[in-house]
A and B are shown apart, each in its own frame.
Chain A
Amino acid sequence: MSDSHNATKSDITLIVNGKSVTVRAFPMERLLDVLRVQVGLTGTKEGCGEGECGSCSVLLNGVLVNSCLIPVLQASSAHITTIEGLATDKHLHALQQAFLDCGGAQCGICTPGMILAAVHLLSKIPEPTIADIRQGLSGNLCRCTGYAQIFEAVADAALRCRQ
Chain B
Amino acid sequence: EGRDKVTGASRYVDDVELPGMLYGATVRSRIARGKIKAINFDPAVNWDEFVVVTAKDIPGKNCIALIGEDQPCLAQELINHPEEPILLLAHPDRNLLAKALEAVSIEYDPLTPIFTIKDSEKLSEIIWGTDNIFKSYHIEKGDVESAFKNADYIVEAEYTTGAQEQLYIENNGMIAVFDPQQGITVWGSLQCPYYVHKALMELCGLPEDRVRVVQMETGGAFGGKEEYPSMLAAHATLLAIKSRKPVKIVYDRMEDMAATTKRHPSRTRHRTAVSKDGKILGGEIEFTVDGGAYKTLTPVVLSRGALHAGGPYYWPHVRIRAKAVATNAPPHGAFRGFGAPQSLFAMERHMDFIAQTLGISPIEVRRRNFLKPGQTTTTEQVVNEQIDLGKLLDRALELADYRAKKEKFTQGNLGADKKKGIGIAAFLHGAGFTGSGERYLNSLVGVETCADGTARVLVSSTEFGQGTKTVLCQIAAEALGVRYEDVGIAQPDTQKVPNSGPTVASRTIMVVGKLVHSAALAILQTLRSNGLLGEVYSPEEFRAACRQHVAQHGVFRSLARYQQADDISWDEENYRGAAYAAFAWAVYVAEVTVDLTSYNVTVDDFVCLQEVGKVLHPVLAAGQIIGGVAQGIGFALYEKVIWEKGRMKNGQMTNYIIPTSADIPSIRVFFEELGNVHGAFGAKGIGELPMDGPAPAIVNAIINALGISFNSIPLLPEDIFEALAANGLHNTSPTLADSKQ
Listed in ascending order, the chain A residues whose CB lies under 8 Å from chain B are 1-2, 4-5, 36-37, 41-50, 52-53, 55, 82-84, 86-87, 92, 96-97, 99-100, 102-103, 105-112, 115, 133-135, 137-151
Contact = CB atoms under 8 A, between A and B. Distances in A.
A96 B252 contact: no
Interface stretch (B198-206, B316-324, B492-500, B655-663): B655-663
B404 interface: no
B717 interface: no
Contacts of B134: none
Contacts of A151: 661
A4 B170 CA distance: 26
11 contacts: A4-B95, A5-B95, A36-B15, A43-B7, A106-B466, A107-B221, A109-B168, A109-B219, A109-B220, A143-B631, A146-B629
A8 to B, nearest CB: 15
B568 interface: no
A113 to B, nearest CB: 9
Given A143-B220, A144-B627, A106 B6 contact: no
Interface in B1-58: 2-12, 14-15, 17
The 10 closest A-B pairs by CB, nearest first: A43-B8, A109-B219, A107-B465, A108-B5, A146-B630, A106-B465, A83-B8, A52-B653, A146-B626, A42-B15
Interface in B156-202: 166-171
A52 B651 CA distance: 13
Interface in B603-630: 619-620, 622-623, 626-630
B98 interface: yes
A53 B9 CA distance: 20
Contacts of B168: 107, 109, 143
Contacts of B3: 92, 100
Contacts of A84: 7-9
A49 B3 CA distance: 26
Contact of A45 (B219, B253, B620, B661): B219
Contacts of B15: 36, 42
B369 interface: no
B8 A149 contact: no
Nearest to B662: A138
Given A109-B12, A133-B661, A138-B661, A149 B169 contact: no
A141 B8 contact: no
B8 A112 contact: yes
Q: Which of A43, A102, A108, A138 has the most CB of B within 10 A?
A: A108
B220 A144 contact: yes
B98 A145 contact: no
Contact of A47 (B221, B253, B464, B629): B253
Given A55-B169, A109-B169, A147-B630, 17 more contacts: A2-B98, A4-B95, A44-B8, A50-B652, A82-B8, A92-B7, A103-B619, A106-B466, A107-B169, A108-B10, A108-B465, A109-B219, A112-B8, A138-B661, A143-B627, A145-B626, A149-B619
A134 B662 CA distance: 5
A149 B219 contact: no
A18 to B, nearest CB: 16
Given A47-B169, A145-B623, A148-B664, A83 B12 contact: no
A141 B667 contact: no
A125 B54 CA distance: 56
Contacts of A92: 3, 6-7
A146 B7 contact: no
Contacts of A53: 169, 653
A9 to B, nearest CB: 13
Contacts of B466: 106
Contacts of B98: 1-2
A117 to B, nearest CB: 9
Interface string B103-142: 0000000000000000000000000000000000000000
Contacts of A141: 169, 653, 658, 660
A78 B577 CA distance: 67
Contacts of B170: 45, 47, 107, 109
B657 to A, nearest CB: 10
Nearest to B8: A43
Given A106-B465, A109-B219, A143-B169, A149 B660 contact: no
Residues of A contacting B: mostly: loop
Nearest to A46: B14
Size bin of chain B's contact surface? 35 or more
Given A107-B465, A137-B661, A48 B653 contact: yes
A52 B658 CA distance: 11
Contacts of B17: 37
Interface in B475-503: none
A139 B663 CA distance: 12
A110 to B, nearest CB: 5
B471 to A, nearest CB: 12
A81 to B, nearest CB: 11
B99 interface: yes
Interface in B192-229: 217-222
Interface in B456-479: 464-467
A4 B98 CA distance: 14
Nearest to B165: A143
B654 interface: yes
Nearest to A5: B95
Nearest to A110: B169
Nearest to A87: B7
Contacts of B9: 43, 84
Contact of A105 (B5, B166, B664, B666): B5
A102 to B, nearest CB: 7
B164 to A, nearest CB: 12
Q: Which of B14, B167, B627 has the most CB of A within 10 A?
A: B627
Nearest to B466: A106
B654 A52 contact: yes
A72 to B, nearest CB: 14
Q: Which of A43, A46, A146 has the most CB of B within 10 A?
A: A146
A115 B6 contact: yes
A140 to B, nearest CB: 7
A103 B622 contact: yes
Q: Which of B169, B222, B467 has the most CB of A within 10 A?
A: B169
Contacts of B465: 106-108, 144
Interface in B89-106: 95, 98-99
B6 A107 contact: no
A46 B193 CA distance: 24
Contact of B6 (A42, A45, A111, A148): A111
B7 A103 contact: no
B463 to A, nearest CB: 8
A106 B169 contact: no
Nearest to B11: A42
A90 to B, nearest CB: 12
Nearest to A135: B662
B653 A140 contact: no
Contacts of B8: 41-44, 82-84, 112
A47 to B, nearest CB: 5
A109 B595 CA distance: 34
B258 to A, nearest CB: 14
B619 to A, nearest CB: 4
Q: Which of B9, B623, B631, B652 has the most CB of A within 10 A?
A: B623
Interface in B632-681: 652-654, 658-662, 664, 666-667
